[in-house]
């Protein structure tokens, strides 16, 4: 094969369904021998926040934001039919029913296949979230130049 | 068709069959044949696409009662 192809995914959304889709594409691309980078920004940071413990931040507004927008792969909602959690619970049940891996498993699998996770420092700054809020799988903390430098070398760039 | 190894992906949906195939093929030697069992119809289109991109050879797909046997030779 020629030079290794690469894929960059911007995960802007913190919706469960969109995150599942992003990870499916990432795993598929990695299976096809491509290098994959996932840039998590804005609500997408919720996908890679750790599920345990609380998120510390300074100031009343940021504390409120991080209380209401706690995040973590297990807390994400469907973009449709969340229905106070009932719809999301049902969708997870349906997925289990057909042996479809949950988001947590997809994250571990993607990481195992060499997918790179990058968290956006600007969003982290605005929201007042530190590095300790994230899962250890996150490779680096960076900004738009890092994304663009990789995106210009990639044939496939998606904004999710 | 004869295969050196068999990978059971029955009950798994996209992208798991190709992800497992990619992983399993790493264990095989060049020229060896992997048989992938699957029941997600998407495999009929996905495995040829996967082979085109990765450069492995698709030897054939057999279909029987909603189940698929896909043969891939490692290149």
pTM of the model: 0.93
What is the domain range of residue A114? 6-159
* pLDDT for the residue A4: 83
Q: Which of B12, B16, B50 sits opposite A32 (nearest CB)?
A: B50
Q: Do A32 and B11 touch (CB under 8 A)?
A: no
* pLDDT for the residue B1: 85
- Going from the C-alpha of A80 to that of each of A15, A110, B14, the distances in angstroms are 9, 25, 22
ipTM: 0.88
Catalytic residue among B3, B5, B9, B14: B14
* pLDDT for the residue A1: 42
**Residue B51 is a catalytic residue:** no
Please indicate, yes or no, if residue A1 is contained in any of the structural domains: no
Q: What residues in A contact B12, CB-CB < 8 Å?
A: 99
Please indicate, yes or no, if residue A17 is contained in any of the structural domains: yes
* Cα A22 from Cα A32, distance rounded (Å): 15
Q: Are A41 and A11 in contact (CB under 8 A)?
A: yes
Record the tokens describing residue B58, joined without a space.
């698709």
Closest CA to A32 of A150, A115, A140: A115
What is the domain range of residue B43? 5-73
| A97 CA: distance to closest CA in chain B (Å) | 10
Please indicate, yes or no, if residue A61 is contained in any of the structural domains: yes
Residue A7 backbone dihedrals phi, psi, to 5 degrees: -130, 135
Q: Which residues contact A4 (CB under 8 A, 6 or more apart)?
A: A33, A34, A35
Please indicate, yes or no, if residue A28 is contained in any of the structural domains: yes
CATH number of residue A56's parent domain:
3.40.1260.10
Please indicate, yes or no, if residue A120 is contained in any of the structural domains: yes
Number of domains chain B contains: 1
* pLDDT for the residue A115: 98
CATH number of residue B9's parent domain:
3.30.110.40
Q: Do B15 and A101 touch (CB under 8 A)?
A: no
Which ranges of chain A would DSSP assign to H, the alpha helix?
16-31, 60-68, 86-97, 103-112, 121-127, 144-151
- Low-confidence residues of chain A: pLDDT under 50: 1-2
pLDDT of B27-70, one tens digit each? Answer: 999 999 999 999 999 999 999 999 999 999 999 999 999 999 99
* pLDDT for the residue B52: 95
Identify the three-state secondary structure at position B4.
coil
């Amino acid at each position: 094969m020629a030079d290794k192809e690469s894929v960059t995914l911007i995960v802007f959304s913190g919706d469960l369904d969109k995150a599942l889709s992003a990870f499916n594409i990432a795993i598929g691309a990695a299976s096809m021998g491509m290098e994959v980078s996932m840039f998590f920004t804005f609500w997408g940071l919720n996908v890679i926040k750790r599920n345990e413990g609380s998120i510390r931040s300074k100031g009343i507004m940021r504390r409120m934001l991080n209380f209401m927008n706690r995040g973590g792969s297990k807390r994400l909602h469907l973009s449709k039919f969340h229905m106070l959690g009932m719809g999301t619970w049902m969708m997870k049940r349906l997925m289990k029913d057909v042996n479809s891996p949950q988001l947590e498993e997809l994250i571990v699998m993607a990481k195992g296949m060499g997918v790179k996770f990058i968290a956006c420092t600007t969003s982290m700054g605005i929201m007042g979230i530190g590095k300790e809020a994230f899962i250890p799988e996150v490779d680096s903390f960076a900004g738009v130049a890092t994304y663009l430098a990789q995106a210009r070398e990639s044939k496939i760039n998606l904004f999710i | 068709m004869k295969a050196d190894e068999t990978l059971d992906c029955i009950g798994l949906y996209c992208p798991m069959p190709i992800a497992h195939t990619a992983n399993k093929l790493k264990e095989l030697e060049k020229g060896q044949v992997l048989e992938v069992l699957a029941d997600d119809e998407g495999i009929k289109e996905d495995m040829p696409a996967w082979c085109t991109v990765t450069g492995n050879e698709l030897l054939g797909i057999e279909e029987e009662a909603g189940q698929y046997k896909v043969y891939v030779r490692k290149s």
